[in-house]
Amino acid sequence: MKKTVTALADGRELIYYDSRGDAVRDAVDLRPLDPISTTSQIRHDPLLGDSVAVASHRQGRTYHPPAGECPLCPTDAAAGRLSEIPDSDYDVVVFENRFPSLAGDAGRCEVVCFTSDHDASFADLTADQAALVLGAWTDRTAELAELPQVEQVFCFENRGPEIGVTLGHPHGQIYAYPFVTPRTERMSRSVAEHRAATGRNLYDDVVERERAAGRVVLSGEHWVAFVPYAAHWPYEVHLYPLRRVPDLRELDEAARAEFPALYLELLRRFDRIFGDGEPPTPYISAWHQAPFRAAGRADFALHLELFTIRRTSGKLKFLAGSESGMNVFINDVPPETAARRLREVAST
């Protein structure tokens, strides 16, 4: 993997990740951009104990542009189409978000473009391309961990207009939070309580239980994917490395080598859940990594959670009163049924 760091016209950082060591990235961003001005601030909720990012500048962000004006496609200087990526082609690109939810002392937001092909999806990538994305996620985690204001890094992909995606080009995001997220704090408390009560690691016990419970979707020598016992979403899969590590930086080479094929198979199965003729399955794919400086880091288990809000053909799972008002989920699809369906649609 070759990494080339450059800057956009407004000073934002842009990084090319290339599979070829001889790749040359010297294109210049020719757009007349004004310097970025953000209003991001973090407000603490004293009743719930969590934090809310307020970012009014995001009201003006790009919203469903025509394909010919996609800001994530490569620049076509001859046609006068200048984008966020100055070069005429790329493998993987990461750049600072022009409309960040978090900025400055309030953190950092980055965009990850998985491929220059506007009409592709992550599931269309080759194993080598997926490995390059994994390398980019890992490198960004390592670099963002060095920023003094950053406590936790979250790499994720929102896919599909039903999820709220406003740019159709295959891409994900990275949020570098200046605090430990509420979900991670809850998991960490459960892990600490389990350690105090049993002397064992909760993540290890969960993975062991799920491997024996019949909800495994697929597995390899170094990873296992299963539908959890108390899945919140209609189709939800958790992917764990079998050697527990706190974040992407700690994966060994064997786990890195096996990940692309397993992950691509999971994504392709998601697109087959609801049968032929259905539009692509909307999903969220989320890496859970340990906070950098919080207690209990060694007990945390890196894992990926993949889920869709589609519950059946043509119908979505909406977060209504119980879910949104009280955070009590009601799942219409039994986890055992979901696991069976995800096994049935395996690649032949």
- Residues involved in catalysis: 171
Structure tokens at 100: 């960040």
Other beta carbons within 10 Å of 348: 3
Q: What is the rounded CA–CA span in Å between residue 186 and residue 188?
A: 5
Per the rule left: phi > 0, alpha: psi between -120 and 50, beta: everything else, 66 is beta
Q: What one-letter code names the amino acid at 113?
A: C
Closest CA to 309 of 323, 298, 295: 323
Q: What one-letter code names the amino acid at 178?
A: P
- Specify the DSSP class assigned to residue 270: H
> Which stretches of 220-292 are assigned E, i.e. beta strand?
223-226, 235-241, 283-288
Q: Which helix (H) or strand (E) covers residue 142, if one does?
A: helix 127-144
Closest CA to 15 of 130, 139, 122: 139
